[in-house]
Amino acid sequence: MTQVNKDSKIIIVGAGVFGLSTALWLAKSGYKSVTVFDQQPYFTNSYRDGADGASADINKIIRFSYGKEIEYQSLALEASHIWDEWNQELANLKQSGEDAGLPPGLSSGDKLWFNSRMLRMSASESYGEFEKETLKTMEKEARLREKQFECRNEADIQRAQESGWGHKVDPFHRKELGRAHSAVLDSTAGFVAAGRSCLWALHLCRKSGVNRTDGSVYGIETEDSRSHSADLIIVACGGWTPTLVPEISRSLETTAGSIVTVQIPQDNQELWDRYAPENMPVFTWGMREGRGMYGFPRMEDGIVKFGYRATKWTNYDDINGKPLSVPKTAHTSKRETNIPLTALHAVKDFISEYLPELTPLGINSTRLCWYTDSIDNSFMIDHVPSRPGLMVCSGGSGHGFKFLPILGREVVKIVEGGKKNVYGEMWRWRDPKEGGKNNGLEEGVSGPRVLAKQKMASEKDWSFGGSSRL
Ligand SMILES: Cc1cc2nc3c(=O)[nH]c(=O)nc-3n(C[C@H](O)[C@H](O)[C@H](O)COP(=O)(O)OP(=O)(O)OC[C@H]3O[C@@H](n4cnc5c(N)ncnc54)[C@H](O)[C@@H]3O)c2cc1C
């Protein structure tokens, strides 16, 4: 492990959530020479402009429901206080009439975090194990448990109505449709505008002195063939991490979630209002029951995003003679803008059944968004064994975004070494179980999730027709 001091030169490769949060907290902790590199245009941080890391997305869910994992629940709660502060700081900038050098794409008064509430729907008649464990773990933080409303419990429905959330208990009219509506409304949860939040973190990094510099011991080479050396290099490259640090490819796998959007026209006032964050919660349906569906209220531009993660796809390529799953997006050399037909059908079926008013609009876009799954879905943040001066900071496993404001605080502790705390232990370097289950990573090229084995959807599949198959 490399010993660092406040003058050490530190390079962070990757300006997604993991890289930005690390840079911010290193700078806040007094490190004077922190430089962030990214291969994509993270200064605008929009996937539309070519930034297509997992972080450069429209929106991401902020949730506190973590089954038995109280450590993540608590950290998410801590992060939520900073999300509140960040909203307030942007509102204050607006009030004082200052834009204070905000990056393009971000304006004073913009909101980053929307407390739209979140509806966790089971696809079956009863709660799954994860939901039961979530409610139990939340009891350990009483104020959090009080803010959960069980949608089949009359007293809770009454409580939700009194709190002003009655209209979010069953926005899909599942009860009218004769469904069990086994669900919990979390009034503390919601979503963040993802790319915009990264821009804010970038702005804070710059204000705190994160910069470009040259140093002396190890280095990276950028596309312009320039060498940049440093005492410590932190690779925070999301789905690209296993390609760059081959040792970690035994424990991290790059997989894709399927994203579908629908555009609500602004002149359709009824739909515009129905899908506003004030009226529509973030929702999940059958998340751990093989359905893996989630969706968001509309954004300011009318985009409603749906995600399907029942199957996370892999994309194996030959990387230096070894098969590794790598991102395939609208901006990679082997381009992909479609998603597997299975995923598109699942989203269309959900919309047809529960949100039929959207079907005349058809689908607006599809995209693959790349996770970095670890063997146990916990992050991987540690020094690389036998490679002094090199750390990895990755393994977001589909739930890292909410920690943007706080993750770096824990990364700094890991950078500095010493006795590991609970997060340092959870996120330590871990090897896969030999011959055992490793979160699907053991399937490799022969697995059923390989993208090349899927029938891909195309634009001709975007309109709705036929009957629902739920
Ligand atoms: C479909 C999907 C849905 C998700 N939903 C949620 C959610 O609702 N809530 C939540 O909390 N989390 C969610 N997550 C997880 C969250 O988005 C990730 O954990 C987080 O964004 C990962 O950030 P990262 O910095 O590790 O990676 P990324 O965001 O992928 O960033 C990696 C960066 O590294 C750069 N890079 C790669 N290679 C190089 C190189 N050679 N040189 C320089 N730069 C390089 C890339 O350009 C990129 O900018 C979701 C993830 C996905 C995929």
Could you tell me if residue 369 is left (phi over 0), alpha (psi between -120 and 50 degrees) or otherwise beta?
beta
Closest ligand 1 atom to 20 CA = 25
pLDDT of residue 46: 66
Checking 88-96 for CB contacts under 8 A at 24+ apart, the result is 90/200
- What's the pLDDT tens digit per position in 399-426? 999 999 999 999 999 999 989 999 999 9
Q: How far is CA 266 from CA 60, 171, 192, 269, 351, in A?
A: 23, 21, 21, 7, 20
The answer to the question of residue 200 being in a domain is yes
- What's the pLDDT tens digit per position in 194-217? 999 999 999 999 999 986 433 333
Residue 50 pLDDT grade (very low, low, confident, very high; cuts 50, 70, 90): confident
Ligand 1 mutation pick, 371, 377, 406, max ligand atoms within 8 A of CB: 371
CATH number at residue 232: 3.50.50.60
Do 224 and 370 belong together in one domain?
A: no
Residue 469 pLDDT grade (very low, low, confident, very high; cuts 50, 70, 90): low
Do 245 and 384 belong together in one domain?
A: yes
Which residue do the tokens 């470009």 mark?
212
The answer to the question of residue 323 being in a domain is yes
Closest ligand 1 atom to 57 CA = 17
Q: Which of 80-84, 204-208, 263-267 has the lowest mean pLDDT?
A: 204-208
The answer to the question of residue 240 being in a domain is yes
- What's the pLDDT tens digit per position in 95-147? 888 777 898 889 998 999 999 999 999 999 999 999 999 999 999 997 899 99
Closest ligand 1 atom to 257 CA = 1
460 has pLDDT over 60: yes
Residue identifier of the C-alpha nearest atom 14 of ligand 1: 398
The answer to the question of residue 301 being in a domain is yes
The answer to the question of residue 75 being in a domain is no
252 has pLDDT over 80: yes
Do 239 and 257 belong together in one domain?
A: no
448 has pLDDT over 80: yes
Is there an atom of ligand 1 within 6 Å of 402 CB? Answer: yes
Do 261 and 280 belong together in one domain?
A: yes
Ligand 1 centroid to 466 CA: how many Å?
36
Residue 432 pLDDT grade (very low, low, confident, very high; cuts 50, 70, 90): very high
As a whole-number percent, the residues of the chain with pLDDT over 90 amount to 84
- What's the pLDDT tens digit per position in 98-110? 777 898 889 998 9
The answer to the question of residue 149 being in a domain is no
Is there an atom of ligand 1 within 6 Å of 128 CB? Answer: no
State how many domains the chain has. Answer: 2
Q: Residue 367: which domain range?
A: 252-374+440-461
Is there an atom of ligand 1 within 6 Å of 16 CB? Answer: yes
As a whole-number percent, the residues of the chain with pLDDT over 70 amount to 96
461 has pLDDT over 80: yes
Is there an atom of ligand 1 within 6 Å of 238 CB? Answer: yes
The enclosing H or E element of 346 equals helix 341-354
Given a contact cutoff of 8 angstroms between Cβ atoms, the answer to whether 409 and 86 are in contact is no
Ligand 1 centroid to 396 CA: how many Å?
7
Ligand 1 mutation pick, 39, 118, 205, 329, max ligand atoms within 8 A of CB: 39
Closest to 395 in 3D by CA, of 383, 381, 409, 406? 381
Is there an atom of ligand 1 within 6 Å of 37 CB? Answer: yes
**Crossing angle of helices 17-28 and 407-416, rounded to 10°:** 70
Ligand 1 centroid to 399 CA: how many Å?
10
